[in-house]
Amino acid sequence: MQEKTAHDGTGTSGLPTTGNASGRAKTPRKATITLELDATTARILRSLARTERRTEEAQALYILENTVEALYFGLEPKKLFKRSTGIAPVAEKRSQS
C-alpha cells in the first residue's frame, strides 16, 4: 500500500488538501450588495452609516479615557461607566441582581 503525502494532493490523513499550500488563512471576502436607490434615500443611508461609525468610535474613546483615568488615579472601574455607552448599563444591571 502506497503512503499518501501532501505532494499527491492529499494531507497526511489521506484527506484532500484545500489547495492552500502556504498554510496561511484566506482573507474573507466582503459581500457587496448593489441597490438602485434614489438620491435622497442613498444620502440618508450614507449619513446614517457615518453617524453609526462616529457613535461607536465615541463610545470606544469614552471607555478608553475612563479606563486610563481609573488606572492613573486608582478609581474603581464600576464608578466610571455611569454614562450610557450602550455596553456598560447591561453589565451594571447584571451585577446588581
Cell of 15: 484527506
Q: What was the pLDDT predicted at 91?
A: 46
Question: ∠45-88-91 over CA atoms, to 5°?
Answer: 125
Q: What are the pLDDT tens digits along the chain (97 aa)?
A: 555 554 555 555 566 555 555 556 677 777 887 778 888 888 888 888 888 888 888 888 888 888 888 888 777 655 555 555 554 444 444 455 4
The pTM of the full predicted model, rounded to 2 decimals, is: 0.34
What pLDDT shows up at residue 3?
53
Q: Which helix (H) or strand (E) holds 51?
A: helix 39-73
Rounded-to-integer distance, Cα 19 and Cα 10, Å: 9
Confidence at residue 89, expressed as pLDDT on a 0 to 100 scale: 46
**Pick from 55, 51, 59, 57: nearest CA to 83:** 59
Cβ contacts of 75 within 8 Å, gap of 6 or more: 69
The domain segmentation of the chain, as residue ranges, is: 35-97
Q: What is the DSSP-derived secondary structure letter of residue 11?
A: -
Compute the CA torsion angle 63, 64, 70, 71 (nearest 10 deg). 150
